[in-house]
Structure formats: C-alpha cells, structure tokens
Amino acid sequence: MKSTAAGFVLAVIVAIGYAQADSPWYERFSLRGYTQLRYAQLHDLSAAGAIWSSGGLSIRRGRLILSGFVSDNVFIYIQPDFAASFSSSLNVMQLRDAYFDVFLDSVQSLRVRVGQSKIPFGYENMQSSSLRLPIERAEVLNTASVPGERDIGVFFMWAPPAARALYRQLLRNGLKGSGDYGCISLGVYNGQGINRPELNRTLYWNARATYPFEIGSAIVEPAVQAYIGRFVQQTSTSVQQTAADYRDERYAVTLAISPAPVGVLAEYAWGHTPRYVPPSNGGGGYIRSGRIEGGFVTVYSRAQLGGYVVMPFVRWQTLHGGVKSLVDAPMTDLVQAEAGVEWHISNTLELTAEYMHTDRRTQTTPGNGRQRTDAVWLQLQINY
C-alpha cells in the first residue's frame, strides 16, 4: 500500500513537470543565510550559595540557504547548518532542509512538498529562528512534540493567492510571520525526528487548517493542527521498555496577531506521548504512553526608537508530560517566564537581550529532581 501511494505521488510529480522558464535555472536562485552568536550568564537557584556563572560564547546557528525555481512549477530549498552540536562536539555541519515544491496549477495555490522540511505543526515551529523573538522555541510544541521541527515526508498544501500575499506581507514588513505552509495541509512523515532513520515502518499523519485575514492594520491567523503516529523511544539500560513503540499524538490550537502596535502569539497543545514512569518496587522504572499538555503566550510590540526598530517581548510557557526527544522521556513539569528586547541595528545586524526564569521538575532515573534557574542571554544575529 505504501509503495503504491509513493509510486502514485512520483508519477504525478513527473507528469506535471512542464516546460522550463526562458531564463537559465541558475539565474533564478538566491543564496542567503544568518549566523547567531550568543553569550549567557546562568544562576542556579537550586544550589545553596550558587553565584552567577558564564555559559561562555557560542555559535547557536550558522545557516546558508539555497532556494529558487528550477522550472515554472518546481521550487527547491536546501539549508545546511554549520553550527549544529553532536554529543560533546560543536559546530558540526548538519542538513536541516532539503525539499522541493511542485505546484499543480497556474496560480500556485496547490502544491506537493517532498523531502526534509518543517512539519506544519505550530506557528512558532514553522517560524524561522532568524525571526523568532525569544531565544528558543517553547518546549511543549518543539522538543516534546516535533524535535528539530523537521522530518522527511510528503505534504499536500493549498493556499489561495490572497492568503499567500498576506504571508509575504508579514515577512516583508518584519512582522514575525511563520512563512507559507498553506492554509490547508495534509501529509505523512517518518516521525522519529530530524536526521534519524525510520525505525518502525509506521508513518505519522499530519494535518493543519488556518486562514489569515486583516482587522484594521493587524493580520490575524487562527489555526488548528494535529499529528498521530507511533514513536520508538530511546532508553538507558536500566529503564524497561513496555512496547516496541508508543502512542504519540498531538492536537494544538494557535492564535497569531501581528503587532499593530501590540502583537500576540498563543499556542496550546495536548495529547499522548511516551513518558518515564518511576518504579514502585525498585528497579529503574519503565516507559509508557501518557498525557501531555501545555502552551505559551508571547506578547510583543514593534516601535521606532531613535531611528531604530525595537521589539520588546514577554513570554510565559508551561509543560506537563514526557519529553520524547530525550533519553528515557523524562516526565517534566515546566513553568518558564521570559522578557527581552530585539534591537534592529541595521538590516544586517540584530541584537537581542533576554532574561529567563525557569522552574523545572523532572522524574527520571535515578530519581526526581527540581531545577530553578535564572539566565541572561545576549545574541548578535548577522543576516547576509
């Protein structure tokens, strides 16, 4: 059945690959990217007598994006990251995106996306890290749901020209858009995480529905989205597996309002996911599928100050459930508050300063823990 469906999709793609445009393909490509340099000061409130300590300088992201139309109806997008981390190694090259869109009509409202791409689940997940205000994404929709935001899959996406124009307007005017992933999307993907092989021959299903519209000078976009699948959980040797894979499903709602002058981004997710369960009679505990829920609210503004664009923001997030992207899927209760400002020094340089307070409780082997921390982050982003 899967091979038949894959063959049908490939046949459709080949059948609609019509004539090349007049200009050579290499003249229709763009090359762009960004790099983020960070400095952190950390304060562990859980340790008696703890003092502020430096997290040092780091390169968080180093992206280079090649994109463009290779024909009138085929668009490709390739993005490596030169600052990924692996185990104790830093600044390792990693493939982030490698996909192509095949448009099925003359107004480019309907397309098929094939390859490694962001999963259409969560506005903040789909939003580029070069545009996001908080230092990192909210955990409940990211590390606990779609780690790395990406996977290999096939997606059908539809958006009318009017909606696609609003998506472009958000990005062009610096209003922190999420990009164009269609108003309706439906697809399948591997589901085991970015740059990981398929482990159980069971694909995930994903669907999302949204529509942007204007109210005065603000662009409003509500959305609903979901995915269902079976996840193969990584565990340590002392933790017992109770199944070969585990029920993993998520449902989420989104409300995005562009700054006019105040903007809001709010998302809430719930469902079931693998999670660690502590032992009742000794041992290292075990894994089972359990409930997960949580969300976040970001309030921000965009203003001119002394000839510069400044964007102050605050965010509050919560999470209750297992974090499947971590070994043993630790049961986590998280409450986090953040406040900061993004300063656009020029079109090339952006400086972000953020304060973060975190209260995290975890259940995992060898026992329960609570970590309360304060952190101050500085990030310089260079766009090119």
Give pLDDT tens digits for 307-351: 999 999 999 999 999 999 999 999 999 999 999 999 999 999 999
181: pLDDT strictly greater than 80: yes
**Mean pLDDT on 24-39:** 90
Dmax over CA atoms of the chain, in Å, equals 72
Provide the percentage of residues in the chain whose pLDDT is more than 90: 83
CB 312 within 8 A of CB 297: no
157: pLDDT strictly greater than 80: yes
Q: Which CATH architecture has domain 40-383?
A: Beta Barrel (2.40)
**Mean pLDDT on 14-27:** 57
284: pLDDT strictly greater than 90: no
Residue 145, token pair as written in the block: 């749901």
249: pLDDT strictly greater than 50: yes
Q: Checking DSSP bridges between strand 204-210 and strand 262-277, what pairing results, if any?
A: unpaired
Q: How confident is the model at residue 10 (pLDDT cuts 50, 70, 90)?
A: low
| CA separation for the pair 283, 169 (Å, rounded) | 56
- Provide the pLDDT for residue 80: 97
- Provide the pLDDT for residue 22: 63
| CA separation for the pair 285, 276 (Å, rounded) | 7
**Peptide bond between residue 120 and the one before it cis (omega within 30 degrees of 0):** no
27: pLDDT strictly greater than 90: no
| CA separation for the pair 188, 190 (Å, rounded) | 7
Residue 63, token pair as written in the block: 């992206």
CB 239 within 8 A of CB 209: no
Lowest mean pLDDT among 1-15, 35-49, 291-305: 1-15
| CA separation for the pair 13, 10 (Å, rounded) | 5
- Provide the pLDDT for residue 47: 77
| pLDDT tens digits, one per residue of 192-210 | 999 999 999 999 999 999 9
Higher per-residue confidence, 15 vs 241: 241
Of 309, 320, 347, 177, the residue nearest 254 (C-alpha): 177
Cα 382 versus chain centre, distance? 20
Give, for 161, the enclosing helix (H) or strand (E): helix 161-172
Lowest mean pLDDT among 35-44, 80-89, 114-123, 255-264: 80-89
Angle at 74 between CA 173 and CA 113, to 5 degrees: 80
Residues in the chain, overall count = 384
- Provide the pLDDT for residue 26: 73
- Provide the pLDDT for residue 5: 45
- Provide the pLDDT for residue 308: 96
Indicate the SS3 state at residue 247: strand
Q: Which residues of 158-197 are buried (b: 16+ CB within 10 A; e: fewer)?
A: ebeeebbebbeebeeeebbbbebbbbbbbbbbbbbbbeee
